[in-house]
């Protein structure tokens, strides 16, 4: 049976559609209660409005901080209509029921995204009264219709005009939507303040560690046709406070919608690309690199990355950190690529690539290196990467019944900190290749071994269950290009078998973390074959 709807309170920051809703409610005989700016807008539209201060008998105060936090508001919302004691009590107190609550909140997100926004600006845009009324109405959803989304105004009016009331399930749906929204709002505030605390702690060298309670919030970008496989449902969500240079910040210029696997692979490509400050290109297939190179420009970098593994790159993702010109576009167009990501596409380059209807072209400002060092090391490897991360960036992995959380692997290898453990010392060119190879290995699935020569990954062995198998895969992929190449391993050698295999293929230098009880065996084997070896002391597992 339809409930008699007599009274609505409307207080919104976003005024979209609010006049039409209020007019419709007024036509249905609903009394409109409102506050401040909303009341002004509705009055100017010719709608009769009762100011909240008239309802409560108490003026708005403290620069508008206190408006609706009053028993005549919350009592009217929270009273349970079929509870005789509730109804007798509010009658005794002179409180009238409120049957519809229409509210949206102060623009906290928009405020903190403004350039130059201060902490004080953010604090002033934390809504207090709005969430209190929303939560009260959502709790009492059986008696109070609560609406937070302007997109629901039309549907609400239509049902009220046709049926006089919402169904119980629609009331519950609106209630759930409110709790999701306020949870998101609070989580966003928490995340922003946590970042501020992180920055202060990093400045003092006193990290706060992981929180006892962790609340995450994300906003849906779009639904996908399917997930990793056609029988799996999927959607893309992004963090409400976006990070520049990430895949969710990319602008799609051409091509069909991105798939689950597209986005996962693109993220892997961008993570590796950020290791380099010189002109670089990387190719990713099935969430692991299949090509990477640093060159003198976008064309030479892409061509070399393609030649890292011409078979695997087919149908892969390519990311470059320089504008794509016509020469590079013509080269890219020779094979099928799922995605090309670049900071810019020259007009003629875009025209060439966009002829392929199935390719996705994404523009993304890869940005400067994180601490402003734009001059590349001779290897193109960014030795400064991660040293000025604004706070402790986190990585998450969902497991059944829980969540694994760790800080991002932003550590970098400084050439000055490398430990040469063999009789032979790497020359300058080898050292550049070693740093490059290890940067690639850092982003290849473990166990990972990478061969490189002339700042090109010539052989990648990733995702293997033994170190020697990873080495064999990398050496097999490199074939004759292994001669004169260097080798990087994401973790230590448990035995000297990897060195033996590398020596047979003509590898001249090796970089690895060290730390095995059998390190000396590997060192001895290197000395026997005239191979130089350096230890980093840093492991780069990625599973």
CA 212 to chain centroid: 22
* Exposure letters 470-509 (e unless 16+ CB within 10 A, then b): bbbbbbebbeebbebbbbbbbbbbbebbbbbbbbebbbbb
Q: Which residues pair with 452 in a beta bridge?
A: 457, 486
| 91 flagged as catalytic | no
Q: What is the DSSP letter of 417?
A: G
| 443 flagged as catalytic | no
Tokens representing residue 38 in the block: 């909303």
The half-sphere exposure of 397 on its side-chain side, counting CA atoms within 13 A, is 7
CA 221 to chain centroid: 11
As to burial, measured by CB atoms within 10 angstroms (0-12 exposed, 13-18 middle, 19+ buried), residue 32 is buried
Q: What is the DSSP letter of 97?
A: P
Catalytic residue among 3, 96, 139, 373: 139
Q: What is the DSSP letter of 375?
A: S
Q: How many other CB atoms are there within 10 angstroms of residue 29's CB atom?
A: 9
Q: Which helix (H) or strand (E) holds 101?
A: strand 100-104
Give the whole-angstrom CA distance, residue 527 versus residue 525: 5
CB-CB contact of 496 with 524 (8 Å): yes
What is the strand order of the sheet 251-254 is part of? 251-254, 360-363, 339-342, 317-320, 280-285, 288-294, 456-461, 449-453, 486-489, 509-512, 532-535, 419-420
Beta strands 280-285; 419-420: pairing state: unpaired
Catalytic residue among 96, 177, 286, 429: 286
CA 236 to chain centroid: 10
Give the whole-angstrom CA distance, residue 345 versus residue 326: 9
**Catalytic annotation, residues:** 139, 286
């Amino acid at each position: 049976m339809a409930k008699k709807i007599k009274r609505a309170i409307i207080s919104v920051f976003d005024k979209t559609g609010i006049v039409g809703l209020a007019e419709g409610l007024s036509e249905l005989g609903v009394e409109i209660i409102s506050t401040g700016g909303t009341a002004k807008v509705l009055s100017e539209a010719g709608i009769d409005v009762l100011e909240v201060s008239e309802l409560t008998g108490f003026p708005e105060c403290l620069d508008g901080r206190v408006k609706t936090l009053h028993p005549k508001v919350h009592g009217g919302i929270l009273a349970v209509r079929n509870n005789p004691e509730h109804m007798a009590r509010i009658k005794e107190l002179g409180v009238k029921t409120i049957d519809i609550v229409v509210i949206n909140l102060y623009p906290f997100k928009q405020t903190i995204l403004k350039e130059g926004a201060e902490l004080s600006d953010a604090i002033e845009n934390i809504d207090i009264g709005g969430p209190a009324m929303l939560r009260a109405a959502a709790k009492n959803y059986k008696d109070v219709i609560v609406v937070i989304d302007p997109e629901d105004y039309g549907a609400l009016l239509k049902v009220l005009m046709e049926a006089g009331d919402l169904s119980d399930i629609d009331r519950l749906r609106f209630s759930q939507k409110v709790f999701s929204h306020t949870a998101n709002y609070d989580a966003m505030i928490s995340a922003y303040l946590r970042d501020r605390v992180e920055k202060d702690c990093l400045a003092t060298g006193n990290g706060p560690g992981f929180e006892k309670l962790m609340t995450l919030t994300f906003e849906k970008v779009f639904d996908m046709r399917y997930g990793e496989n056609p029988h799996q449902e999927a959607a893309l969500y992004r963090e409400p406070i976006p990070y520049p240079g990430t895949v969710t910040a990319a602008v799609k210029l051409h091509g069909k919608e991105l798939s689950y696997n597209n986005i996962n692979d693109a993220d892997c490509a961008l993570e590796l690309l950020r290791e380099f400050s010189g002109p670089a290109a990387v190719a990713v297939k099935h969430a692991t690199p299949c090509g990477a190179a640093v060159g003198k420009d976008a064309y030479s970098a892409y061509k070399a990355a393609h030649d890292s593994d011409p078979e695997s790159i087919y149908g892969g993702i390519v990311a470059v950190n320089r504008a794509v010109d016509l020469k590079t576009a013509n080269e890219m167009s020779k094979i099928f690529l799922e995605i090309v990501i670049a900071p810019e596409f020259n007009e003629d380059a875009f025209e060439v690539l966009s002829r392929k209807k199935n390719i996705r072209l994404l523009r993304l400002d890869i940005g400067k290196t994180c601490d402003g060092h734009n001059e590349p090391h001779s290897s193109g490897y960014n030795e400064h990467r991660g040293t000025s991360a604004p706070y402790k960036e986190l990585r998450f992995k969902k497991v059944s019944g829980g969540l694994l959380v760790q800080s991002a692997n932003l550590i970098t290898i400084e050439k000055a900190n490398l430990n040469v453990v063999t009789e032979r010392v790497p020359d300058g060119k080898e050292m550049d290749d070693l740093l490059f190879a290890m940067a690639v290995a850092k982003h290849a699935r473990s166990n990972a071994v990478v061969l490189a020569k002339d700042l090109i990954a010539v052989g990648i062995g990733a995702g293997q269950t033994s170190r020697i198998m990873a080495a064999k895969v990398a050496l097999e992929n490199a074939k004759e290009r292994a001669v004169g190449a260097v080798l990087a391993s994401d973790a230590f050698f448990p035995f000297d078998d990897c060195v033996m295999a590398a020596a047979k293929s003509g590898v001249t230098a090796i970089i690895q973390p060290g730390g095995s009880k059998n390190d000396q065996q590997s060192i001895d084997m290197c000395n026997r074959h005239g191979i130089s070896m350096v230890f980093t002391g840093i492991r780069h597992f990625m599973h």
